Amino acid sequence: MKRIGITGGMGCGKSTVLNEFRALGVPCFVSDIVAARYYCEPDFLDGLRTLLGDSVFLDQYTVDKRAVAERVFADTALLEGLNALVHPRVLGDFDCFCRQHSAAPYVLFESAILYDYGFDRLMDGVICVYLDLEERLHRLRLRDGADTETLMSRIRRQMPSEEIMCRADHVVLNYEGTPRRRQVQYIDQIIRK
């Protein structure tokens, strides 16, 4: 079974494209959704408390995620600390997911930061979903209701989409009017071979 990464900057349409692969029966592992569950796990919360202190907790078991983001994005060492808590768990859970789906020809691992943290080295191939910055901002303003400045501060932390596209093995162009489903079907067939 192959492990295929799927990545792209925020707002390019990863979730939308992932749904197309899901419709073809491909098992999809979404890192962000899996990682969000850790915030309910006592041992993870203990690690978070050791790293960031009580100030990021609303009560004993409830994390103020906005406070966590503010702290870690202002301090590289704290961001590394948080990554050290989250990333090994995500990779361990992905291993379990792969074992559960060992009969599938391939599984997808979705992560916006696949290349930033070298997860691509654990994959047999990578798909990039691409959209230019202006169009991403347009869609994100609609999706998240956030202003351009806020969105840009998040986007600047990620690898530029053009670099992601150059490094990937397959690219899905997600412009309105481009045949997304056909691109997905084509890539699916290539990977299955």
Examine residue 138 and tell whether it contacts ligand ADP (CB under 6 A).
no
Interface with ligand ADP by CB under 6 A: which range of 6-14, 50-58, 72-80, 150-158?
Answer: 6-14
Q: Pick one of 174, 183, 184, 187: the residue that binds ligand ADP (CB under 6 A).
A: 174
Q: Pick one of 3, 4, 6, 13: the residue that binds ligand ADP (CB under 6 A).
A: 13
Residues 141-160 that bind ligand ADP (CB under 6 A): 143
Give the C-alpha distances (Å, rounded to integers) separating 104 from 51, 70, 116, 147: 38, 40, 27, 41
Q: Pick one of 3, 6, 8, 161: the residue that binds ligand ADP (CB under 6 A).
A: 8
Distance CA 155, CA 10 (A): 7
Examine residue 12 and tell whether it contacts ligand ADP (CB under 6 A).
yes
Report phi then psi at 130, rounded to 5: -120, 140
Distance CA 155, CA 99 (A): 33
Examine residue 111 and tell whether it contacts ligand ADP (CB under 6 A).
no
Interface with ligand ADP by CB under 6 A: which range of 11-19, 46-54, 86-94, 150-158?
Answer: 11-19
Q: Using the Cα atoms of residue 75, residue 76, residue 78 and residue 82 in order, give the sign of their dihedral.
A: positive
CB 113 within 8 A of CB 9: no
160: DSSP letter:
P
Question: Interface with ligand ADP by CB under 6 A: which residues?
Answer: 8, 10-16, 139, 143, 174, 176, 180
